[in-house]
Amino acid sequence: IITTATSALTTTKPTHSETITKPTKFYTEPFHTPTKSDIDCIHQHQIHHPIQAFSIGQKCTHGYPQAYGNHPCEYKISGGLFRLTCPMLVQAIDEWEARGGVRELNDLVMGSEDLTRSFHAVNQRTVRVRKAVIDAHPGGMEKITSRLGDFNAERLLASGIAGLGPNAGVDVKCLHAHVADQLCRPADDDSDTIGKEILRLLKVERGVAVDGSMNDCW
């Protein structure tokens, strides 16, 4: 089932042989609508509470979703647009962040003009996509404004990845969020993103099988 820019999110009923649904576009960008089995998988194995997903990210070698697009206002109001669900990646990034991973990436980004441009592009995209998803949800903006008030609603709309403010400068903040952003892009997206660089470093320098381990890591 395909969602449109004027309808609420719907999901398909799962079968064991179901395939990824056709993409829906929010602000000209395609996103795959999650199936019920995608949602159930994330509930049972990673998040352990109900989620409000407008899209599903790439899947690992075992066929499990590695990330999802988090709806900003379907049920709860939420600023985080993309969330990581792969337990192996979550653990690997947790360990890296505990050892200074965010500082390491900030130094890397600030030392590279290309990565700095990519950083700003990723945050600008987050703002665009969030607004498009909100606009596609009936009464979405009114709901956010009534819950948060005008000032905080505008702050939410203007925030980038991991709630980064528009005037915050270069601050990667959360490696998980950048990887989730990358994994929720189309497989043929050749943009140079911070998430793509993080995945490369996880694989090359930290030995993480970013597409899924040989064992069933769930």
> What DSSP string describes 60-108?
-TTS-B-EEEEPSSSSS-----EEE--HHHHHHHHHHHHTTHHHHHHHH
Task: Give the range among 32-36, 119-123, 207-211 with minimum mean pLDDT.
Answer: 32-36
> Residue 201 in contact with residue 112, Cβ under 8 Å?
no
Structural tokens at position 81? 């647009």
CA-to-CA distance for 161 and 176, rounded, in angstroms?
10
Residue 2 is assigned to a structural domain of this protein: no
Q: Is residue 141 part of a domain?
A: yes
Does 10 reside within a domain? Answer: no
Domain span at residue 168 reads 23-204
- Asked if the structure places residue 15 within a domain, the reply is no
* SS3 assignment for 152-187: HHHHHHHCCHHHCCCCCCCCCCCHHHHHHHHHCCCC
Quote the percentage of the chain above a pLDDT of 90.
65
Q: Is residue 42 part of a domain?
A: yes
Q: CA 197, 199, 204, 207: dihedral to nearest 10 degrees? A: 160
pLDDT in tens, 113-167: 999 999 999 999 999 999 999 999 999 999 999 999 999 999 999 999 999 988 8
The total number of structural domains in the chain stands at 1
**Within-domain flag for 6:** no
- The answer to the question of residue 145 being in a domain is yes
Does a structural domain hold residue 213? no
- Residue-wise pLDDT tens digits, 153-206: 999 999 999 999 888 889 999 999 999 999 999 878 888 899 999 999 999 999
Residue 6 and residue 134 in contact, taking contact as beta carbons nearer than 8 Å:
no
Q: Is the distance from CB of 2 to CB of 22 less than 8 angstroms?
A: yes
Of the pLDDT bands very low, low, confident and very high (cuts 50, 70, 90), residue 217 is low
Better-predicted residue by pLDDT, 3 or 76? 76
Residue 95 pLDDT greater than 80, yes or no: yes
